[in-house]
Structure 1
Amino acid sequence: MNMKNKILLLVCLLGMNVPMIGQTIKSSIHPIQYKQYDKVEIDIEVVQKFDNPYMQEEIALDMLITTPSQKEQILPCYFVSKKSNNLSCWKARYTPQESGIYQYKIQLIKSGTKKDTSKVESFEVNKSAEPGFLHTKSNWILVFDNGQPFRGIGENICWESRDNDDSKFFKKLHEKSERYNYDYLLTEFAKNGGNFFRTWICSWNLPIDYEGPFNNSRYTKSDEFYNPDALARMDYLIELSEELNLYIMLTLGQGGYLIKERGVVNTAEDFFVDKQARAWYKNRLRYIVARWGYSTSIAMWEFINEVDNIQFRNSNNPIDSKFIVDWHDEMSTYIKQIDPYRHIVTTSISHRDIEGLNSIENMDINQKHIYNKTSSIPTEIERYVQEFGKPYIIGEFGREWDWSKNFDDFSHEMDIDFKRGLWYGLFSPTPVTPMSWWWEYFDARGMTPYFRAVREISDRMLAAGNGSFEPLSIEVENVDVFGVKCGKEIFVYLFNPEHSTLVIDINIPITEHQKYKVQAMDPTMLVIKDALEINNASSFITLKGITLGAEKEVVYILTPSLE
């Protein structure tokens, strides 16, 4: 995907005088050719008095769009600057999903009442080969607008370096700002096969609505309603992700909701319960959708990280689950209403289920985090998928969560766990592989190139089955084994958890009498070798005499022979 083409439909600059006699809203279009999934950026001038342009209860601008197929869309616009007491600049960022002639107009709403509408403008969009936005499709895959299947090969890259990191043993490593920034981390991740990452809006990273101090010298305190440094950094992150063909689970968080952060309430419980706090959060969502919702690199909006930990922050008086579920129901319904692209919506728990949270209609994907139990990932995914009928993601996993421990004391276990989690996810019904934590640590240990093997097998699975996955039941003593059939190809993953070498036979169930070519991949060395050709004489294919070293793994690919 190329960087979005920036298209200016009206220049709104300080010092440029645009006659607006008799007009409240002005918008015009230049005769430029556009393509599907280009960013169409519309600058708008409005003559209207207001105090706070970030509160839709006072003032709001919407772009009303009629697509070539006559579909009606409403896109929120966002405030840019004031030119005078009455004249202000706003912006709409829109991505056309269809080719053909579009019509649009800008609508002004004041105090909840429609006040004025601009004249109708039009622009033309030519067809492109870009795949579009991601949506849920099945438990195994996501799908682009054009029908192309997608599986995320994911990692947490939740923030850039902090000035003062709280890790007991890896403080100096984590504070390397010249290395642990989006430019380095995302470029290396994409270069090595990664295509999906999770990142946070929080008080030290992309702190769009926090008071500060930020513990991050990339951001300076500001009296602006939204922090200019954070907004610019988010703009850059989106553009960089588009250049690298990376897709984002953007964790929105609670934001600076506390009164001490210029928010509106004093407690976490009030954040979920108080009507003013909910209205405040909706205005925050509106701004986020208006400014960044245009990007096809935004795969998912994640409301809150580990909401159960917020619930039990005061263990003696936890927040009532009903408040949390009701909040998510209201916010997921609202963001679906204002987001014309219908981005995927999710939230996450640490380890405590919240009754009702997994069953909310407008929450597209459920997720949890798993530490010290990586072997449970396949059964946990299967259990939640079966119980709630929605795709399930392991948003974080790892050998250890406790940052007061020295991971170097068990670094070998950390590495093995990192590898296993990826493969357990790839062979399970989840659209994104489990995402490892501790991105700085694993980068320093040289683990990032390991994603290449997982991506290669994932791409082969998608190419073979066009997104279809049929789990295979394979049993081998003392070995972790998983198998899937994609189209006519069969994929088998084996991991030996023992501390000694094993020699094993495996039986792979099949339904067709077919001659297969067998290849074996060493994921660490990224070497694929032809193994053997076999004929099945019954309902099984048997691979005999497989030698698997201690804590080693192998992936077998069985392809129907053309001979």
Structure 2
Amino acid sequence: MTFPLLHPPQIPAVRPLVSTKVAQYRMAEYSVKVAGSFVDPFDPEDVALDVRVTAPSGKRLSIPGFLYQPYRRTVGRATQPIAISTTDALAAGKASPTRTVDDAEIMVPSGPTEWRVRFTPREVGAHRLEFVLKTRQGVARKAGPALIATKGKGGFVRVSPRDRRFFALEDGASYWPLGANIAWAGARGTRDYDDWLAEYAKAGANWGRLWLSPHWATFALETKKLGRIDLGNAWRLDYVLRVAQGKGIRLALCIDSYNVLRDRVSWPEWERSPHRLLLKRPADFWTDQVADRLYRNKLRYLVARWGAFTGTMAWEFWNEVDGTADYKVAPIRAWHERMADFLHRIDPYGHPITTSFGGNGEGAGDRSVFELKGIDYTQSHRYDDPDLALGVFAAEERLGSLGKPHFVGEVGADASGDRAADDPEGLQVHDPLWASLAAGAAGAAMPWWWDSYVHPKKLYGLFAAAANFTKRVDFDREGFRSVTPSVRFEAEPNPLPRRDAVPLADGVGWSAAPFHKPLTVRIDRNGMNAPRLAKLQQGVGNHGDLHNPVTFETDLPWPTRLVVEVGDVSGYGGAAIRIVRDGETLVEQAFPDPDGDRDTATLKQYAKDYIVEIPAGRHRVTVENPGQDWFVANYRVVDAVERRAPPLLVRAVVGRRTAIVWARHEDRTWRAAVAHKKIDPIAPTRLTLSGLAKGQWRVERWDTWSGKRLGCTNVTVGTDGLAHLSLPRIENDLALKLIKL
């Protein structure tokens, strides 16, 4: 019997790819020639290259190396993988798993594989380097040339030590993320990013978010062989990170999306995932020891290849993890705790770590995951809010209270499409952005639909307006506090105008909750008394224990009408709506599921408004779902309540030397704009802002669409901390920036 000859590890040569003298926070890179016997270059138990760094302070660091291959971009005809909405649609021939295009980006290897190490010095002075190669046959060591770091600026993003609700750079500069999701490209590949990043940079944006899975994404790392890295897509990510970093844009890298552990419906990828080679079902991923080991190997590769980029803003474990099959929070929370601990230990640069949940985050227990010590910042995803600004305020109130940075990581008017024809000017980008500023969020609300909406409609000016406004605002130095300014008419109108009564309907979840039971909303001429309602009206079948009809009790001297805005309907059996006024059934409509449970995709065809007239006097109107499963519902009682204050939605944050105020016409919601609802301008008003330091303040008025300053005045604040300000006639919105003199 003969055995293969196993060779001990060797490091014949180390070649610097840049100068051995770099600025602090600038990346050095080395090509390392290795020899020895090993099988899997992506398994550190088989082969591991590291550089041991001794910094000028004496601090010791371990920097992992990685397998690299150079590529060049070409253009030609190619067949590319694409997403599918359901596996049933694929089986029925209604969807294709691929597309063939003539203008595709094709990655062509331009050289052999080699080992590389990237290192970014964070101290000034001489760094000693020792390269270490470890295989199953032993360990080899080789001293490398000293690396000299001169004084630099910038550095990696950190949770600010001055105010842990915000971010900062290592050199102390404040960092307020502003940008959009740019998760994947079209057939043009990285050429799309050449265009997009140039536009965002010109607008002053400084943030973006990329997806590293599923397999059809531009930067998909996993191959059909579990545990292997796609070196062509890794080169693409190198390229885009270098371009973004050169333009001052930092990218959050979202490592995985729920799709890879989702089967059958809602954009599933389980059937095409390499995890099927190891696991019997998607939910096994969270507890399987081999899956854990493979994921740690992937994290090591991520840190080795992209950790040294200061343009890597953060690591995000999962996009909308609650979308995975058979979701249960306990094992997923434990998984996040294990992986966050591991990633913090191996990442010498200390990038912030996060994860994300879908619109059902609250019901999925996202708070219990975000509370983990290893999760550094939190985020929300908001879609389908009738008033997008209120959605941002609600998200900040809920997760901002954890004392960690929080911002809305995805926002859009409609989760099912960009609605570009309905919103060509970008209201669904504009309002969440300015609401984030006024709410004291750690960053802007980041729009989705970057490729089909933001870029084609050339909405980059909306980011430029916010970038101009936030110049020289040091968010983590202000100690911002949220306040709600009071507003009043300069001269009270007679008769008083009226407004719609709109209860908040955003409660989500699949377990017992205050909004999963029958509730009553009471409305009279002076206002509305409403509990928080559920986003979903539950039927009597699938989740009968959550059945939650809503009753409206009105006592008004004028007639009104109730508008029930029905949105998505469950694809697991459909739903129905019944509206009863004073015991008389006025609306009875079924929303049947045409194919039963064969295709469980959400039903879009039943979206419309259901309207019931309500005469003057006392009345009782109940909205109920007697169907099998849920439908999305929002409610409006039209012109019901007298306006004793101007119809302004106003929020503000007040800091030591800066205050930010955003005032928007209360009726100019995204939903109203799409419906082309006529909205009368608001006459001049008086606003009182509290919590300011005594002294002189400059008050700047800003146009939030153009990013131009409209004018400024000075105001004196006394010991009561109040500033009394006059607002001009407002048609849409207005921002104020107060600066202590």
The interval holding the TM-score normalised by the smaller chain is: 0.7 to 0.9
Q: Return closer, same or farther for 1:467/1:292 CA change in 2, 3 Å cut-off.
A: farther
SS of the counterpart of 1:411?
coil
Paired residue for 1:275?
Answer: 289
Picking from 333, 341, 345, the partner of 2:341 is 333
Instruction: Say if 2:473 is the partner of 1:461.
Output: yes
For 1:80-479, list aligned pairs within 5 A. Answer: 80=68, 89-111=114-136, 115-137=138-160, 138-162=163-187, 177=188, 181-202=192-213, 203-211=215-223, 225-253=228-256, 261-263=273-275, 264-266=277-279, 267-310=281-324, 313=325, 318-350=326-358, 351-353=360-362, 354-355=364-365, 356-373=368-385, 374=388, 375-386=390-401, 388-403=402-417, 407-408=420-421, 410-411=422-423, 415-440=426-451, 441-462=453-474, 466=477, 468-476=479-487, 477=645, 478-479=647-648
Paired residue for 1:44?
Answer: 32
Aligned counterparts of 1:512 and 1:34: Cα–Cα separation in 2? 44
Aligned counterparts of 1:145 and 1:210: Cα–Cα separation in 2? 32
Q: Aligned AA for 1:189?
A: Y
Aligned counterparts of 1:99 and 1:242: Cα–Cα separation in 2? 21
Q: Return closer, same or farther for 1:64/1:178 CA change in 2, 3 Å cut-off.
A: closer
SS of the counterpart of 1:556?
strand
Q: Return closer, same or farther for 1:407/1:511 CA change in 2, 3 Å cut-off.
A: closer
The worse-fitting range, judged by mean Cα deviation, of 70-79 and 23-32 is: 23-32
- Under a length normalisation based on structure 2, what TM-score does the superposition of the two structures give? 0.63
Q: Give per-residue Cα distances to partners, 1:515-539, cap 9 Å, x unaligned.
A: 3332211121332122433334654
Aligned counterparts of 2:471 and 2:113: Cα–Cα separation in 1? 48
Does the 8 Å contact 2:9/2:139 carry over to 1?
no
Aligned counterparts of 2:404 and 2:20: Cα–Cα separation in 1? 42
SS of the counterpart of 1:119?
strand
Q: Give per-residue Cα distances to partners, 1:412-457, cap 9 Å, x unaligned.
A: 6x83232110011122233221111111313222321111111122
Paired residue for 1:61?
Answer: 49
Paired residue for 1:480?
Answer: 649
Q: Which structure's CA Rg is the greater one?
A: 2
Q: Give per-residue Cα distances to partners, 1:249-294, cap 9 Å, x unaligned.
A: 1111169796955444343212222111111111111111111111
Cα deviation, residue 322, structure 1: 1.7
Q: Return closer, same or farther for 1:45/1:259 CA change in 2, 3 Å cut-off.
A: farther
Instruction: Say if 2:10 is the partner of 1:24.
Output: yes
Instruction: Select the structure that is richer in helix.
Output: 1
Q: Return closer, same or farther for 1:247/1:467 CA change in 2, 3 Å cut-off.
A: farther
Instruction: Select the structure that is richer in strand.
Output: 2
Aligned counterparts of 1:119 and 1:132: Cα–Cα separation in 2? 29
Q: Return closer, same or farther for 1:25/1:256 CA change in 2, 3 Å cut-off.
A: farther
Picking from 37, 52, 77, the partner of 2:65 is 77
Does the 8 Å contact 1:366/1:391 carry over to 2?
yes
SS of the counterpart of 1:379?
helix
Q: Aligned AA for 1:501?
A: P
Q: Aligned AA for 1:456?
A: N
Aligned counterparts of 1:22 and 1:383: Cα–Cα separation in 2? 56
Aligned counterparts of 1:259 and 1:76: Cα–Cα separation in 2? 33
Q: Return closer, same or farther for 1:329/1:516 CA change in 2, 3 Å cut-off.
A: closer
Does the 8 Å contact 2:9/2:133 carry over to 1?
no
Q: Aligned AA for 1:460?
A: R
Q: Aligned AA for 1:369?
A: H
Cα deviation, residue 487, structure 1: 3.6
SS of the counterpart of 2:45?
coil
Cα deviation, residue 28, structure 1: 4.2
Paired residue for 1:167?
Answer: none
Picking from 495, 500, 506, the partner of 2:687 is 506
Q: Aligned AA for 1:158?
A: A
SS of the counterpart of 2:474?
helix
SS of the counterpart of 2:185?
coil
Q: Aligned AA for 1:500?
A: D
Cα deviation, residue 467, structure 1: 5.1
Does the 8 Å contact 2:703/2:709 carry over to 1?
yes
Cα deviation, residue 96, structure 1: 0.6
Cα deviation, residue 195, structure 1: 0.7
Q: Give per-residue Cα distances to partners, 1:351-382, cap 9 Å, x unaligned.
A: 23343312222111122211122212123212
Does the 8 Å contact 1:209/1:256 carry over to 2?
no
Which runs of no fewer than 5 residues in structure 2 stay unpaired? 1-6, 70-111, 262-269, 488-644, 668-678
Does the 8 Å contact 1:98/1:125 carry over to 2?
no
Aligned counterparts of 1:491 and 1:207: Cα–Cα separation in 2? 38
What's the RMSD between the two structures over aligned residues? Answer: 2.9
Q: Aligned AA for 1:385?
A: G
Aligned counterparts of 2:408 and 2:26: Cα–Cα separation in 1? 32
Q: Return closer, same or farther for 1:556/1:160 CA change in 2, 3 Å cut-off.
A: same
Aligned counterparts of 2:211 and 2:291: Cα–Cα separation in 1? 21
Q: Give per-residue Cα distances to partners, 1:25-70, cap 9 Å, x unaligned.
A: 2444667422212221122222210111111122212211111111
Cα deviation, residue 334, structure 1: 1.2
SS of the counterpart of 2:168?
strand
Q: Return closer, same or farther for 1:73/1:346 CA change in 2, 3 Å cut-off.
A: same
SS of the counterpart of 1:63?
strand
